[in-house]
Amino acid sequence: MHLSFNALLRGAVLAACLVSPHVAASVVIATTRVVFPADQSEVTVKLSNVGTTPSLVQAWVDDGRPQDPLNDLQVPFSVMPAMFRLDAGKGQSLRVFHEGGAMPVDRESLFWLNVLEVPPKGVGNALQVSLRSRIKLLYRPDGLQGKAVDSHRSVTWQLLREGERWVLKATNNGPFVVNLASLSLQHNGQPPQTLDPSHVLPYSSSRFQVGRLAGQASIMLRYAFIDDYGAVREAPEPVTVRQAD
């Protein structure tokens, strides 16, 4: 069973990587992120099959290396059930367990919950497409200073010059992972420049590639962040970002 699990997973992940992003998954997760409080031994995540056919579902947690084999992943979480059939129109609750082990107590830790659906075998030459959903799993220690919803205020921003291009550097000075939904730069009366958003880990920095800024020493930044419930919140005020010395 162990060998067939890995073989199936490798093939399914490859198919998932090749599929068009416009193909909709039948198995959907009821949330866009999971917050795991340190004072709990498990959390529950609900799945639903909104399609018309049954699917084989596999679930696991990774540490930010989505393509690595399961045997190479060293994560302090397990998921039950890890493999099951989910009939059309039915639901299933995943139980995510924290298995102990040393974890940072002064900041959140970021992991990822994976849900892979393998549809039934097609007839004849029909293409069988596996789809993987992957959402953030945030392990949150007790007693962190501040509130997660205000964590975006702990981020400082700088413009860095790298050759002919610019980089927007975000430094998170707080203990929570800051999840960004959008980034938009306004400079010199030009149309806003939209950047690809991502997340910024606690007490770490992330960089976002920026196009030419025509020698601007400062720009206006508008951004939105994502809260614990998956809601997108616009920052109340734009931020003036200056070029680093």
Q: What is the pLDDT of residue 3?
A: 38
| More confident position, 2 or 120 | 120
Name 50's Cβ contacts closer than 8 Å, sequence gap at least 6.
26, 27, 28, 89
Average pLDDT of the segment spanning 164-170: 88
Domain ranges of the chain: 2-140, 148-242
pLDDT at residue 5 greater than cutoff 60: no
The residue with tokens 């590639």 is 209
Q: What is the pLDDT of residue 217?
A: 66
Q: What is the pLDDT of residue 128?
A: 64
Average pLDDT of the segment spanning 149-160: 95
CATH 2.40.50.140 holds for 148-242: no
Q: What is the pLDDT of residue 111?
A: 97
* CATH superfamily, domain at 2-140: Immunoglobulins (2.60.40.10)
Q: How would you label 203-222 residue by residue, b for 16+ Cβ within 10 Å and e otherwise?
A: eeebebebeebeebeebebb
Q: What is the pLDDT of residue 74?
A: 85
pLDDT at residue 14 greater than cutoff 60: no
pLDDT grade, residue 119 (50/70/90)?
A: confident
Question: Does the model's pTM come out above 0.95?
Answer: no
Average pLDDT of the segment spanning 139-147: 96
Fold identical between 2-140 and 148-242? yes
Average pLDDT of the segment spanning 185-206: 91
pLDDT at residue 122 greater than cutoff 50: yes
Q: What tens digit of pLDDT does each residue of 90-111 get?
A: 999 999 999 987 899 999 999 9
Average pLDDT of the segment spanning 167-191: 93
Q: How would you label 61-98 residue by residue, b for 16+ Cβ within 10 Å and e otherwise?
A: bbbeeeeeebeebebbbebeeebeebeeeeebebebbb
Q: What is the pLDDT of residue 188?
A: 75
Q: What tens digit of pLDDT does each residue of 43-74 get?
A: 999 999 999 999 999 999 999 988 887 777 88
Q: Which secondary structure element, helix H or strand E, spans residue 16, and what is its range?
A: helix 2-18
Q: What tens digit of pLDDT does each residue of 24-49 get?
A: 789 999 999 999 999 999 999 999 99
Q: Which residues pair with 167 in a beta bridge?
A: 160, 209
Q: Which secondary structure element, helix H or strand E, spans residue 233, and what is its range?
A: strand 232-234
| More confident position, 68 or 145 | 145
| pLDDT mean across residues, the chain | 86
Whole-angstrom Cα distance, residue 128 to residue 137? 29
